[in-house]
Amino acid sequence: MLLRITEEKLSRRQPQASTEYGHLVETFVVNEVLKQIAWSSQPVTAGHWRDRSGGEVDLVLERTDGSVVGIEVKAGSGVRPTDAPGLSTLARRLGDRWLGGVVLYTGAHHAVLGQRTNIAAMPIDTLWQEV
């Protein structure tokens, strides 16, 4: 019972429990991605992005050639195109350097969230599937 987040608190949709659960999921996913990029044959720099207006991306991966991938993490089981505003903003700002973005979430389906910005939604367990 990490941080005293119980099933009961989550099922009652207590705001604090939901927020804490979201932070745990985000931390877990970021750590898993960081472990996996350590195996990459290409050097990758990892960071977080936030602009002055509050737009943010949970994890930004940049290759040595300057190309960038953004990852947003959502604890919810559903996802919509409006769940990736930070990825969309970063894509517009980076232009040709933007390779694409992904929203990793607790749901079960893959979806395209932004055709022009190359943003997709994928279940978190995609991290452990063979390519």
Domain holding 95, by residue range, is 2-128
The residues with which 121 forms a beta bridge, in sequence order, are 103, 111
Rg for the chain, CA atoms, rounded: 15
Q: How many domains would you assign to the chain?
A: 1
Q: Which pLDDT value is given to residue 74?
A: 94
Q: Which pLDDT value is given to residue 4?
A: 59
Q: Which pLDDT value is given to residue 122?
A: 97
The residues with which 122 forms a beta bridge, in sequence order, are 104
Profile the chain (131 residues) by mean pLDDT over runs of 10 residues: 54 56 87 93 94 94 97 93 92 97 96 92 92 64
Q: Which pLDDT value is given to residue 10?
A: 47
Q: Which pLDDT value is given to residue 31?
A: 95
Buried/exposed 103-131: b ≥16 CB within 10 Å, e otherwise:
bbbbbeeeeebbeebbbbbbbbeeeeeee
